Amino acid sequence: MVPEVINGETGAIVTEATHVTAETDTAAPFTVPITVRGYETDTQGHLNQSVYLQYAEHARWSLLQASGIPQRALVARGIGPVTVETTIRYLRELHAGDEVEVSCRFVWGERKTFVIEQSVHRTDDGTLAAEIRAVCGILDLTERRLVTDPRTALGELATDPALLGLDQP
């Protein structure tokens, strides 16, 4: 089941992707709601640092799914997303029971890699708890090398490429 898709700027359920201009080359952030669970906290009583990576990964896969790219389609095409670098800035504590939204936005360049910008906000007061920046690529599962054009690789599979910051085919 695909999680509810929420537009991070208005809080409204997305029924149509926002047009992306060539100047920004990015889509509006896609967000996924998550409740911090007690077993995800550490001895300090706040969300364990490793869980932020899990939240980010969940949002990325949810975005791919919402854009029409289930994992099985990637495997069938012989490709898969990989992360080559991740930077996390922890800004505020999160505790068990906190409701958060994890955003996800693809930022495309002209190389084999692209950036995914993410943030974790508390939904009750909008507090920014963390910023996550991941450098990613699309791996050819046979050659074990990054594909030359990740935009095309994902764009050909997506039924809603605008969610990925890509033009409609």
Quick check: helix, strand or coil at residue 2? coil
One-letter amino acid at 157 equals L
Give the model confidence (pLDDT) of 90-147 as tens digits.
Answer: 999 999 999 999 999 999 999 999 999 999 999 999 999 999 999 999 999 999 999 9
pLDDT for 26 beyond 90: no
**What does the domain layout of the chain look like in residue ranges?**
6-15+22-163
Enter the tokens of residue 89: 């800035």
Return the higher-pLDDT residue of 46 and 11. Answer: 46
CATH code of the domain occupying 6-15+22-163: 3.10.129.10
Enter the tokens of residue 157: 């599979």
Give the model confidence (pLDDT) of 41-84 as tens digits.
Answer: 999 999 999 999 999 999 999 999 999 999 999 999 999 999 99
Q: How far apart are CA 26 and CA 67, in angstroms?
A: 14
Enter the tokens of residue 98: 């906190």
Contacts of 147 (CB under 8 A, 6+ apart): 79, 112, 137, 138, 139, 140, 153
Q: Sign of the CA dihedral 145, 151, 152, 155?
A: positive
